[in-house]
Amino acid sequence: MKKVILYILAAVCIVCLSACGKNNDQSVGIIGGADGPTSVFVTDGESAANIGGDEKDGENLDKNLDENPGGTGENLEDNLAEEDLTEADLLVIDAFLNRGDVYGFLLSNYDDVLDADFVQVFYEGAGVGEYPNPELKKLFLDSMGMTEDDVLGDITYISAENADKVLQRVTGRKLSDLRRRDRDLGLYVVPEADGYFHMAGDTNRITVKTLYGTRRSDGIITVTSSAEYMGWDAEDLEPLAEFETVLKEIKPDEYYIISNHIIGGWMADLVDWEEQESTQIIYAEKPPFEYDNISFTVNPEMDDTLPCTLEKISEIENGVTDAQTWAFSHWDEWMRDPDFAKSQNGVVPTFPDADLYQEIYNKPFENRDEYFIYKYNQTGASLNIWNIMADEYEYRIDLKAYLSPDGRIDPDDLLAQNVRWARIVNGILFISNAHPTYAESSDYLNGYITAVNLNDTSVIWRSSPLVANGWNFELLGVWDNGILREGVIISGYGFTNEDDYIYQISMASGKILDKIPVATKPDCVVYANGILYVHCYDRDYEFAVGYG
């Protein structure tokens, strides 16, 4: 699992995690995916960017390549004359690939540029983004149900017209060429603003060095380049990525991007996992959406699991620090716990916040977990299961049935209850699902923990709602010959103008065993040295943990 550890360690080195907050449940990305759950509002009519339109638009995109120089790059002639690029050529292409409106096209795999990850392209505005004026900012905040106090990063606005100009300038294509379902670009769309918004507190900026390449007589150029993150000083780490990019030369210093593939570096390792063909895709059945705990195997009234005793040691105001800063501040202290140190393998835990491909890093509990679980396709609607012991990909679990009571919400919708955290113990998948806004907006049916039988994906039990919308949960209990007995799940729930609690939930039935009020939303929990560490929006707690 050296590659896994390298990837996680590298991701931690660059992550700038959003503040997990009582009032701000939006997260901040590094390279991958939309920033947390995305609110998408698409008009029925045409905007300047053709955000609307017919579904059939863009489905016949590969016709007449001669008339469309930014075509797919497939079916190109192999017998055309070819020559190596000169050093002067490489310097010119270097300048092109490092442009603010271009580098983001390198951060995803595609054969057709219209399949690029446009979140990467417009992450920093692609040279046309700007800070929204007060009117535009208000439109965005109102659409998200947020206030000025909820914004911890930068908000960037890209007009539909300017987004279209970037696409035409860099690819020779237009927004109207995109399939309608892709025209939100993975960003926040507010129809009244006629454009796109992005909220982030970090960067995906890379510096690219073109290594070598060839030019064909028809003007098609293939180059190989490499990149490191700006400011990195980690000589022992693999390079971020190597890219193979196909360009169409328009003028001596102007190009259209046709296709791109990440072929090396630790980013390629992760992409390989994402792109593996599943040997099996398992579709989970729809779970119950009820106000009460539903258990199908253990009667909650007969469940005699006892809660842990949690005695408060400290409560400290944290100045609204982010969870990563909090984790690093306690890291040496946590590593003094042999079980914690053994389970971490020297890797700082990164809570699933929408960083690279929005992975879930499954910290082994006392080194007994055998699986690395990560989200598939930039959402929490599917999970890929990687067997650590066998070092191989096993299968994918499709959890779209968990997104909403009616099952009709898109994974990118603001009300989509995507997976927040996942653990596999004793052959059971424990997952938390939540959307990032007010409970009232989903009739208070939000924030569940569910136990799923991995043999058939049937629901063993589902907790009452409103018990888990933090970034993770912890498992506490007593191990007996490799089996977790008397297991308790520690989770947190809270939001603006809602009650904030730390919950103890029985792993046997999903019954709430105990709850402790806290001042603000509990986002992250870590158990080490017999202490439960809790990071809340503006407070940090420590509790001494006892059993029985």
Tell me which of 275, 307, 339 is where a domain ends: 275
24-28 contacts at long range (C-beta below 8 A, 24 or more positions apart): 24/146, 24/150, 24/151, 24/152, 25/436, 25/437, 25/469, 25/495, 25/521, 26/144, 26/146, 26/150, 26/199, 26/436, 27/353, 27/354, 28/152, 28/153, 28/199, 28/200, 28/201, 28/202, 28/353, 28/354
pLDDT-based confidence at 178, cuts 50/70/90? confident
User: Looking at the DSSP assignment, which residues form a beta bridge with residue 198?
Assistant: 156
Entry pTM: 0.56
Question: Is residue 6 included in any domain, yes or no?
Answer: no
Question: Is residue 239 included in any domain, yes or no?
Answer: yes
- Examine the domain organization and report whether 444 and 477 are in the same domain: yes
- Examine the domain organization and report whether 100 and 214 are in the same domain: yes
Q: What is the pLDDT of residues 121-177, one digit of tens each?
A: 998 889 898 989 999 998 888 877 777 776 767 889 999 999 999 999 999 999 989
Predicted pLDDT at 423: 86
- Examine the domain organization and report whether 229 and 307 are in the same domain: no
3-state SS of 380-418? Answer: CCEEEEEECCCCEEEEEEECHHHCCCCCCCCCCCCCCCE
- Examine the domain organization and report whether 303 and 368 are in the same domain: yes
Question: Is residue 22 included in any domain, yes or no?
Answer: no
3-state SS of 229-295? Answer: ECCCCCCCCCCCEEEEEEEEEEECCEEEEEEEEEEECHHHHHHHHHHCCCCCEEECCCCCCCCCCEE
Q: What is the pLDDT of residues 62-103, one digit of tens each?
A: 344 344 444 444 454 556 788 999 999 999 999 999 999 999
Average pLDDT over residues 402-428: 82
CA distance 449 to 233: 40
Say which residue the tokens 């040295």 belong to.
529
- Examine the domain organization and report whether 55 and 135 are in the same domain: yes
Instruction: Give the CB-side neighbour count of residue 51, counting CA atoms within 13 A.
Output: 25
The whole-angstrom distance between residue 121's C-alpha and the CA centroid of its chain comes to 16
Predicted pLDDT at 336: 84
pLDDT at 28 over 70: no
Say which residue the tokens 């940090």 belong to.
540
Query: Does 201 or 13 have the greater pLDDT score?
Result: 201
Judge whether 10 and 234 are in contact, CB under 8 Å. Answer: yes
pLDDT-based confidence at 464, cuts 50/70/90? very high
Going by DSSP bridges, is the β-strand pair 501-506/382-387 parallel, antiparallel, or unpaired? unpaired
- Examine the domain organization and report whether 243 and 299 are in the same domain: no
- Examine the domain organization and report whether 332 and 398 are in the same domain: yes
- Examine the domain organization and report whether 59 and 200 are in the same domain: yes
Domain that holds residue 76: 31-275
User: Looking at the DSSP assignment, which residues form a beta bridge with residue 26?
Assistant: none
- Closest to 42 in 3D by CA, of 120, 143, 122: 143
Question: Is residue 68 included in any domain, yes or no?
Answer: yes
Question: Is residue 364 included in any domain, yes or no?
Answer: yes
- Examine the domain organization and report whether 267 and 298 are in the same domain: no
- Examine the domain organization and report whether 432 and 520 are in the same domain: yes
In 134-218, where does DSSP find H-type helix? 134-144, 160-171
Average pLDDT over residues 536-544: 95
Predicted pLDDT at 223: 97
> Which stretch of 172-181, 228-237, 337-346, 495-504 has the lowest confidence by average pLDDT?
228-237
Average pLDDT value for the chain: 76
Going by DSSP bridges, is the β-strand pair 281-283/392-398 parallel, antiparallel, or unpaired? parallel
- Examine the domain organization and report whether 110 and 42 are in the same domain: yes
Tell me which of 275, 297, 318 is where a domain ends: 275
DSSP state of 301: G
Give how many domains the chain has, as a whole number: 2
CA distance 481 to 292: 33
Judge whether 465 and 448 are in contact, CB under 8 Å. Answer: yes
Question: Is residue 16 included in any domain, yes or no?
Answer: no
Question: Is residue 17 included in any domain, yes or no?
Answer: no
pLDDT at 52 over 80: no
Judge whether 361 and 4 are in contact, CB under 8 Å. Answer: no
Q: Which two tokens stand for residue 1?
A: 């699992």
Judge whether 237 and 77 are in contact, CB under 8 Å. Answer: no
Query: Which CATH number does the domain housing residue 447 bear?
Result: 2.40.128.630
- Examine the domain organization and report whether 292 and 215 are in the same domain: no
Q: What is the pLDDT of residues 470-527, one digit of tens each?
A: 988 998 876 666 556 668 999 999 999 999 999 999 999 999 999 999 999 999 999 9
Question: Is residue 225 included in any domain, yes or no?
Answer: yes
Predicted pLDDT at 78: 59
Tell me which of 241, 275, 309 is where a domain ends: 275
CA distance 283 to 196: 33
